[in-house]
């Protein structure tokens, strides 16, 4: 849907846009993070925190037509089979998005101590309402090698083969992050200020700084999980393991996992400019800490398929060096 809209609108941007901004960027130490859930009812070995830092180039295209419709496109050049890109279209201006819709795709290969390689693909969409309420939904798929015990003719055998995990992640966030674009517009219009939570300052005729402190209320909901492998006929088989007492048990079928918490951080840009051409450095960091909202049973355990982890933590950060031209 968004690709069709971009094809239709981009010619108008070149002819009638309020502005069109092209940036060639190099992102350093961009952090990708996510979670894999194993046995959902234990707190010691029930999850794997995936984290990876990458350096890559990125093309960013931003524009706005008549203070009514805007676009924000990102196309990243990551080595190998990995990819990361997003397309956003919105109603409003960069400093006040009444309604925005974004599609994002990630395909990342994590190197972990449990598995040599974990391939994770994540595709989803995101809505922004009145600039500060952000709601997203994405499908997460992982592939990695795991050891498990499979029973054939009542005899257990240990296998080491690819497992496929699917899960849905929905997030809701009340955040100050998008007010970064307000500080950018203000400094371009020579509206200057320095507050504890925001800055827009022209240091001299060719150097400016702008940015915002990030505070957010976060909710992460995991659901609709399933785990399977492919048998010798390439048929999907639900994953089974053997307990110590010899009985079969389905694992990792996450059906309900809700975490709530807070995020803090900043996004700050230092920009040297000559007319509409500029070189900029942007530093971004956001730490998210979440607590489990599920209620334990009387014996202290949780219902099957509910994640028993007490806390989840995520870190989002990068440093961007870029060249930008604003038409």
pLDDT tens for the chain, 327 residues: list them.
555 455 555 555 555 567 889 999 999 999 999 888 776 666 655 677 889 999 999 999 998 988 889 999 999 988 878 999 999 999 999 889 999 999 999 999 987 655 667 889 999 999 999 989 999 999 999 888 877 676 677 777 777 778 888 889 999 999 999 999 999 999 999 999 999 999 999 999 999 999 999 999 999 999 887 778 777 777 877 766 544 444 444 455 677 889 999 999 999 999 999 988 999 999 999 999 999 998 877 777 777 777 878 899 999 999 999 999 988
Tokens of 164: 């496929």
In this structure, the dihedral spanned by the alpha carbons of residues 198, 201, 203 and 204, taken in order and rounded to 10 degrees, is 170
Residue with tokens 């809505």: 127
CA dist., res. 202 & res. 209, Å (int): 6
Q: Which domain holds residue 25?
A: 2-326
Q: For the chain, how far is it from start to end, CA to CA, in angstroms?
A: 27
pTM: 0.87
Q: Are strands 96-110 and 236-238 parallel, antiparallel or unpaired?
A: unpaired
Q: Are strands 248-250 and 257-274 parallel, antiparallel or unpaired?
A: unpaired
Tally of domains within the chain = 1
């Amino acid at each position: 849907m968004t690709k069709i809209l971009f094809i239709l609108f981009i010619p108008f941007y070149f002819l009638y846009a309020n502005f069109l901004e092209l940036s060639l960027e190099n992102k350093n130490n961009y952090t990708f993070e996510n979670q894999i859930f194993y046995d959902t009812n234990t707190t010691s070995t029930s999850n794997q925190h995936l984290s990876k830092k990458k350096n890559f180039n990125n093309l960013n295209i931003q524009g706005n037509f008549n203070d009514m419709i805007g676009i924000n496109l990102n196309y990243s050049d990551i080595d190998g089979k990995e990819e990361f890109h997003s397309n956003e279209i919105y109603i409003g201006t960069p400093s006040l998005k009444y309604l925005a819709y974004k599609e994002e795709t990630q395909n990342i290969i994590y190197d972990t101590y449990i598995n040599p390689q974990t391939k994770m693909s994540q595709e989803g969409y995101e809505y922004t309402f009145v600039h500060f309420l952000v709601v997203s939904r994405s499908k997460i798929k992982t592939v990695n090698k795991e050891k498990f015990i499979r029973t054939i003719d009542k005899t257990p055998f240990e296998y080491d083969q690819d497992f496929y995990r699917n899960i849905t992640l929905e997030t809701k966030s009340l955040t100050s992050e998008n007010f970064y674009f307000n500080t950018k517009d203000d400094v371009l219009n020579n509206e200057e200020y320095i507050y504890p939570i925001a800055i827009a300052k022209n240091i001299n005729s060719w150097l400016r700084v702008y940015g915002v402190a990030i505070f957010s209320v976060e909710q992460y909901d995991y659901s609709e999980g399933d785990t399977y492998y492919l048998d010798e006929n390439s048929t999907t088989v639900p994953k089974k393991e053997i307990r110590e007492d010899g009985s079969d048990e389905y694992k990792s079928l996450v059906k309900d996992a809700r975490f709530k918490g807070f995020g803090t951080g900043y996004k700050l840009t230092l920009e040297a400019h000559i007319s509409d051409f500029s070189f900029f450095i942007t530093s971004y960091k956001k730490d998210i800490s979440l607590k489990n909202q599920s209620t334990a049973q009387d014996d202290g355990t949780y219902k099957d398929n509910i994640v028993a982890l007490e806390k989840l933590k995520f870190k989002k950060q990068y440093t961007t060096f870029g060249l930008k031209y604003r038409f």
